[in-house]
DNA sequence: CCGGTATATTTCAAGCATGAAGTTTCAAGG
DNA sequence: CCTTGAAACTTCATGCTTGAAATATACCGG
């Protein structure tokens, strides 16, 4: 038994700390997401993925390609197809063709879709504000910056 | 046009900052989760939800009830049923009955299940360490503490 | 023009996820 | 007893999600 007493390798300690952090992030995210899902359903009869798509499209009145959408939302191509299909069926989204490239489609909100999103956006922001109430503005700013750099490290890889 | 120049209500600024924070947390979580999912699949032929269940059961050699499991993992009851069904079919998990209460079942790892988890746990921790490499130990600790208090605020509600 | 490669999207099977409805069992109170 | 209500699970319909295979189109070098 000659294991060093407090000599747990520094890197090992940091590793445990990161694992702990990850598990907590995961829990927090799931709690918030599940609350949002529930409120979106009971309040507006819609789902989180649908809201995400509407939200993405709202920022682009000119529309986005399916692939842009899937890249932006970080979900698979096939996934977006299904969600957009349902939104189209509900009249909230329009699938158009791009001139000069018959492969690509351009997806954009209908007026009804834009109105639907506007009706939800305020409530959504307010819910987030409420659910993250425990995080002060300074903390939010710091955390946000950290996550931004974290993301940058990420996207530089390919 | 008499809108005050820098007089955006303080609460409004904080609200925007929290929304921004939430969106970044969401992106970061999705990126890490999708990377983990991919590595679990290619490296061990399993999935994230299965890993989560094995991980939860590993910490409880005496087993857990289905409801405990679903509460712990923050997923619905019906969901756990399906995942455990598949794990049982694969021989990694055992469904037992509790003496004195024929409703409750006790789910525990088989030896094979424990071995399977042990084989993955090290790699998993290492992956997290790599994926969160951008976060220093001090930051991790602080963030972790913040999320812990965040969670506490949460669970006190019911 | 032709063939090959790359891009944009859809389709499909399998698994995950929820919420609601159903089954069985337990625990009390009459 | 025996009903009534709660608790532990399961089942089911629906929708989300992925990754792989299929389709269709575009582009490019010969």
- 3-class SS at B135? coil
Of A83-92, A99-108, B94-103, B147-156, give the range with the top mean pLDDT.
Answer: A83-92
- CB-CB contact of A143 with B21 (8 Å): yes
Q: What span, in angstroms and rounded, lies between the C-alpha atoms of A89 and A105?
A: 16
Residues B47-102: tens digit of each pLDDT: 999 999 999 999 999 999 999 999 999 999 999 999 999 999 999 999 999 888 99
pLDDT value for B47: 98
Q: Is the CB of A104 under 7 A from strand C?
A: yes
Q: What span, in angstroms and rounded, lies between the C-alpha atoms of A27 and B25?
A: 12
Distance from CA of B6 to the nearest CA of A (A): 17
Mean pLDDT of A14-38: 92
Q: What span, in angstroms and rounded, lies between the C-alpha atoms of A91 and A88?
A: 5
Rounded to 10 deg, the angle between the B111-131 and B10-44 helix axes is 130
pLDDT value for B136: 77
Residues A30-81: tens digit of each pLDDT: 999 999 999 999 999 999 999 999 999 999 999 999 999 999 999 999 999 9
- The structure tokens 């899902």 sit at A37
pLDDT value for B7: 63
Q: What span, in angstroms and rounded, lies between the C-alpha atoms of A111 and A120?
A: 14
Give the nucleotide with minimal C1' distance to the Cα of B81.
D10
pLDDT value for B16: 87
- Which residues on B lie below 8 Å from A128 (Cβ)? 15, 18-19, 22
- The structure tokens 């996207």 sit at A155
- 3-class SS at A11? helix
- CB-CB contact of A117 with A109 (8 Å): yes
CA A139 centroid distance within chain:
20
Higher pLDDT, B2 or A111: A111
- CB-CB contact of B127 with A13 (8 Å): no
The structural domains of chain B, ordered by start, are 25-155 (1.10.10.10)
- Which residues on B lie below 8 Å from A129 (Cβ)? 14-15, 18-19
Mean pLDDT of B95-111: 94
Higher pLDDT, B46 or B133: B46
Distance from CA of A98 to the nearest CA of B (A): 29
């Amino acid at each position: 038994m000659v294991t060093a007493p407090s000599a747990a390798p520094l890197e090992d300690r940091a590793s445990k700390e990161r694992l702990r952090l990850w598990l907590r992030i995961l829990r927090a995210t799931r709690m918030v997401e599940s609350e949002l899902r529930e409120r979106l359903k009971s309040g507006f009869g819609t789902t989180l993925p649908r809201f995400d798509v509407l939200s993405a499209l709202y920022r682009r009145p000119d529309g986005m390609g399916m692939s842009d959408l899937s890249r932006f939302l970080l979900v698979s191509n096939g996934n977006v197809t299904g969600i957009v299909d349902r939104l189209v069926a509900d009249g909230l989204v329009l699938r158009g063709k791009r001139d000069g490239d018959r492969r690509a489609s351009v997806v954009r909100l209908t007026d009804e879709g834009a109105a639907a999103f506007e009706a939800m956006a305020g409530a959504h922001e307010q819910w987030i504000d409420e659910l993250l109430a425990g995080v002060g503005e300074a903390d939010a700013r710091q955390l946000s910056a950290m996550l931004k750099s974290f993301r940058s490290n990420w996207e530089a890889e390919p």
